[in-house]
Amino acid sequence: MAVLCDWEIRARCEKSYMVVPFDEKLLNPASLDVLLGNHLMVESIYSPELIRVDISHYTEEEPFRLEPSEFCLAETCELFNLPDDISAQFVLKSSRARSGYQHLLAGWCDPGWHNSKLTLELKNVRSHHAIPLYPGLKIGQMVFHQMSNVPLNSYAKTGHYNGHLTVMPSVA
């Protein structure tokens, strides 16, 4: 497996709509930055189920506040359509990690995952201060991998999380 470089990511996105919307300003040498979308799922003391929250009206100046030790599911702004010869891995931006954000390492995307926003598992690991969440926050980056070959069973046929246009809880 080889990591795609900037011009390979650009070519895939422009030719096959691998990431929509694609913004060339978000390209890095070996990854593509991704932005936080408009929806979260947060914990409530009244139910074990996570509650959907629309954060589209929050801004950098007036953000949604994830309190210390709180957990939420979030979505990317971008929609992904991975071809059968490309896998991807979500990685938290180092500047976010240094500010107290944690991603729970469930960001692997199999070849064939398509028509979906990525659901992120975020936690505030700070002890005393909230961290901000708002649409458009540069939250992480996707690293794309060229597969050594096309798999026999594409995630397009076997996956549980295809076609999800918003943040999703576990289906397993």
Output the domain CATH number for residue 59.
2.70.40.10
Please tell me the distance from the alpha carbon of residue 105 to that of residue 115, in angstroms, as a whole number.
Answer: 21
> What's the average model confidence in pLDDT over 55-75?
97
- Give the mean pLDDT of the chain: 94
Look at residue 169 and tell me if it is in a domain: no
Indicate the number of domains in the chain: 1
Does a structural domain hold residue 6?
Answer: yes
Domain contains 27: yes
Q: Is residue 84 part of a domain?
A: yes
pLDDT score of 165 more than 90: no
How confident is the model at residue 172, as a pLDDT? 63
Residue 164 lies in a domain: no
Indicate if 121 belongs to the active site.
yes
Q: Is residue 148 part of a domain?
A: yes
Q: Give domain status of residue 172, yes or no.
A: no
Answer whether residue 92 is part of any domain. Answer: yes
At 74-106, the pLDDT tens digits run: 999 999 999 999 999 999 999 999 999 999 988
Domain extent for 68: 2-158
DSSP assignment, residue 22? -
Instruction: Output b/e per residue, 137-167; b: 16+ Cβ within 10 A.
Output: bebbbbbbbebeeeeeebbbeebebeebeeb
What is the pLDDT at residue 40?
Answer: 98
